[in-house]
Amino acid sequence: MIPKSFIQDLLNRLDIVDVVERYVPLKKAGANYVACCPFHNEKSPSFTVSQTKQFYHCFGCGAHGTAIGFVMEHAGLGYVESIEELARSVGLDVPHERSAAGDNFQKKVAPDLYEVMQTATRYYREQLKQSQRAIDYLKNRGLSGEIAARFGIGYSPDGWQNLAAAFPDYQSDTLTETGLVITGDEGKRYDRFRDRIMFPIVNVRGQVIGFGGRVLDKGEPKYLNSPETPLFEKGRELYGLFQAQKAIRAGQQVLVVEGYMDVVALAQHGVEYAVATLGTATTPYHVQKLLRLTEHIVFCFDGDKAGQKAAWRALENALPYLQDGKRISFLFLPVEHDPDSFIREFGKDEFEQRVREAMPLSGYLLREISAELNLRTQEGRNQLLQRAKPLLMAITAPATALLLRKEVAALSGVSQEELEALYEIKPVARAARKSFQKVGRAPPSANRLLLQCLIAQPALGAQVSEWHGEGSDAEAVAAVLFMLRENDFALSSPALTQSFQGTAHEKTLAAAEADMLSWGESFDVAAEFAGLLGKLEDGQRREQFQTLQEERAKGSVSSMTEAERKQYLQLLQRG
């Protein structure tokens, strides 16, 4: 757990313009900087970075956040990883606090473990150059030397302790800690990978964190992966992501396949946006990671039973993380083919045509839950409703959930309202009929302006003794004031907004910040805040006065407490 005080200090040291420019070229435009958005395709720039307010906002796709949020979105890193990456850039070491139970304490990875993996990578690559048998194997699979070099492919010779040639201290604990060496029951040590083509697994920073080894001839297991280590957690990593990031962003599409050779073979034929899971099913973390990088995920599986099972598992894990406006599709190749063999036989154009024709998630879901059901019978339609319920209930993306409910309702022969009542889902409110009015932007409410002033100058919150109000803006103001009091009104603007990432108020704060980009340099935040506070206090006094007037009209003044009568007299004097 990273202390909040460290995150605030980090954000205070960073300049978001410098952070964004490491990835995206920016141009000055008035008080802000602009660029074509790195998160969606566009021809004219709608991506804006505010140096004074230290946040970015895209008016096209709505991407919004602080320097930490940008690194998470652009590099596909997790929250902790992004903080560590930014901390390194300003020469800070990230402290970690133990949780209350002490179980979730995250140990800092020793830098020498990365050095060990890099040394092993160099050793395996040198061994590949010396093994004609391994070279011939790769050539027969259609791989060029350039592709082998790009992915750092190597070879582990047959033998029990070959790594002793690369590591003079073969007894070092770092070799077992990284999974390169195994210690047997009697304490004898030996290499984990022997007589295998070696595929380095690289994190998004370009550091080798593990290996996948494939047998050259027949043998079991066909693929052998590094075990879980302080560097490598296979449920969170994807093979080839480091090499594919640029192509994924350019095409806003990623292809998820099952094997290392699939990724490498596809890249050899010019399909450079493929990644592979690491011997595990697609995990929720994989889905979240990829949706931060791209608008469209295509899962590509073999057409056999194992491929169908893997696809359904991917769908189930993806449902809670679906986002309206982003797509997930499924591509099933003929039973006799995997991506490697298909592209070698039919070529890039035919393969990419199959990718374009991939089945949308909605179509795949509906096909599977209605399979082998007779929807002409009541029993079949009933079964469909039962199969669909847990899947539909898992979807949080509003538009996606609504459209799928409509389709399931139609297939089941019930109305959408009946299905929502059956599933105990709160129905989408009917939209009120819009009246014709002049096109124009409504001025921000007093609560929205107050929220913006607090974001711009958090210390102003100390002037508010108590707060109440209704609506999302008023609730966000209350949450911000609570957060500021908890931190003695010492939070900076970026640290304040960062603390609301992932909360119910995140979108409200993002919308408020987006409007702040239109503020001129002469905008007096403190004066605006004072005026707003005065108006809101006047409004509250009027409400109190009206309430007391109503009580008086009912003849209940005599029943007022002494404090209420005193308040009533004060309000009368103020008019």
Residue 541 has a pLDDT of 59
The model's pTM: 0.69
- Comparing 147 with 512, the larger pLDDT belongs to 147
**pLDDT digits 0-9 by tens, 86-127:** 988 888 888 876 544 444 434 445 558 999 999 999 999 999
Q: What percent of the chain has pLDDT over 70?
A: 87
**pLDDT digits 0-9 by tens, 14-27:** 899 989 988 888 99
Q: What does the alpha-carbon distance between residue 334 and residue 350 come to, in Å, rounded to a whole number?
A: 13
**pLDDT digits 0-9 by tens, 413-444:** 999 999 999 999 877 655 444 444 444 445 67
Cβ-based neighbour number of residue 174 at 10 Å: 17
Q: What's the residue count for the chain?
A: 575
Contact, 214 vs 230, CB < 8 A?
no
Local confidence band at 373 (pLDDT 50, 70, 90 cut-offs): very high
Average pLDDT over residues 354-379: 95
> E strand or H helix at 310, and its extent?
helix 305-318
User: Taking the C-alpha atoms of 138, 141, 146 and 150 in order, what is their torsion angle to the nearest 10 degrees?
Assistant: -80
Contact, 225 vs 278, CB < 8 A?
yes
Asked whether the predicted pLDDT for residue 385 surpasses 80, the reply is yes
Is the bond leading into 221 cis (omega within 30 degrees of zero)?
yes
Nearest CA to 49 among 59, 250, 450, 8?
A: 59
Q: Which residues pair with 212 in a beta bridge?
A: 199, 225
Please enumerate in sequence order all residues whose Cβ is within 8 A of that of 507, keeping only pairs 6 or more positions apart, or say none: none
Q: What does the alpha-carbon distance between residue 451 and residue 508 come to, in Å, rounded to a whole number?
A: 9
Asked whether the predicted pLDDT for residue 75 surpasses 70, the reply is yes
Q: What does the alpha-carbon distance between residue 119 and residue 208 come to, in Å, rounded to a whole number?
A: 10
